[in-house]
Every structure is written in structure tokens, then in C-alpha cells.
Amino acid sequence: KRADLFAKQGELFLNLNRPVAARNAFVRATQINNLPEYHLGMAHSLLFEQLYEPAIQILERIRPQMPPKSEFLGKTVLSLGNAYSVTGKGDMARKLYQEHIGKEPENPAYRYELGETYIRERDWSEAARTFRDLLPLVEADQVALGKSLYGLARALERNGDFDEAVRMFERLLSLHP
């Protein structure tokens, strides 16, 4: 039996909006080869169903097992941070993102999600500062730049910085008319 095939099946089931079937496939994968990335798949199936606490437990357990700077570590951190944020644990999400920004300052995903956490908490000035700091890292990526400009413009508008918000929206529109 090949665990990787069960894991692939689990990914397909997630893409088909079938989280229970996905979780069962990931469980079978872990029974063959108990890799943390298969547990990540189980956590994603739980997040899909908005079962945040069991997903958080899995993500917290596997995070230390992930190799540094691996795609699986990044997915684990982003999933865990989002789960913290959605469940009102913004302080834990911020701490997690800031820890990984310190470890991987070139990875814009952690800064973006940190900005989104500030937006969820309605801390508009910190959100604006975070998105401003993010812009130089994403200038070459049109999609990431667009998302970051939108986050910055939203935070500025909510913070009452209307002139700067208008400039950011105009820049965003010039990139994505």
C-alpha cells in the first residue's frame, strides 16, 4: 500500500468539497506512513468543516515536526494562524506570524496574514503598517501586489486616511482595471 496515493486521494476529495472522505483518506495514509503532512491534510479537512479546535490541536502538534522553510511548514503556520484568528485568538495568530516573519523575512505570506489578522481585529493602523511593510516584498508578483494594495487601501480607509486610501485604490485599479 502506498500512503502517498491515499494522501493524493485526500487532496482530491478536498477539492471536490468532500471533507469526510478526504479525512478518511488522510487517516489511511497516516496508518501506512505517519508523516506530519498527512496530518496536515486531516487538519485541512477539519478546517473545511469549520471544526477549528480539533484542527488547531493537530496543527499545534505537527508544527514542530515540519522541516524549516518547507512548503508544509508554511501551510501549517498559515492554517494554524488563520484558525487562531477565526476563533478569536488573534494574539496567538499574531505571535505565530511574527515568529515566522523573523525566521523567514522574505516570505510575504506571513506578513499578509498578519495584516489580515489586524483587519479582523479592526486595528486599522497596525494593518496599514503591516501592508505597507509588505509592498516591497510583493512588487514583482501582480496577484500578491494587488491583494496587498487592497488590504492597505481598506485599512487606510477605515483608519480615516482617505487621501492615501484613494491613492492606493487608484494604484490597484491601474494594475487591475
pLDDT cut 90: percent of the chain above it: 94
Q: For 44-78, what is each residue's pLDDT tens digit? A: 999 999 999 999 999 999 999 998 888 899 999 99
**Residue 11 pLDDT > 90:** yes
The confidence score (pLDDT) of residue 69 equals 81
Is the model's pLDDT at 1 over the cut of 80?
no
Q: Answer yes or no: is pLDDT of 176 > 90.
A: no
| Torsion angle in degrees (nearest 10) through CA of 143, 149, 150, 153 | 180
Burial of 90 by CB count in 10 Å (0-12 exposed, 13-18 middle, 19+ buried)?
Answer: middle
Quote the mean pLDDT of the chain.
96
To the nearest 5 percent, what fractions of the chain are helix, strand and coil? Answer: 80, 0, 20
Residue 36: pLDDT band with limits 50, 70, 90: very high
pLDDT value of residue 70: 86
State how far the Cα of 18 lies from the Cα of 5, in Å rounded to an integer.
Answer: 17
SS3 string, 134-154, reads: HHHHHCCCHHHHHHHHHHHHH
C-alpha–C-alpha distance, residues 18 and 62, integer Å: 23
pLDDT tens for residues 82-116? 999 999 999 999 999 999 999 999 999 999 999 99
Residue 96: φ, ψ to 5°: -60, -50
Per the listing, cell 477605515 goes with: 158
What is the pLDDT at residue 91? 97
Predicted confidence (pLDDT) at residue 81 exceeds the cutoff of 80: yes
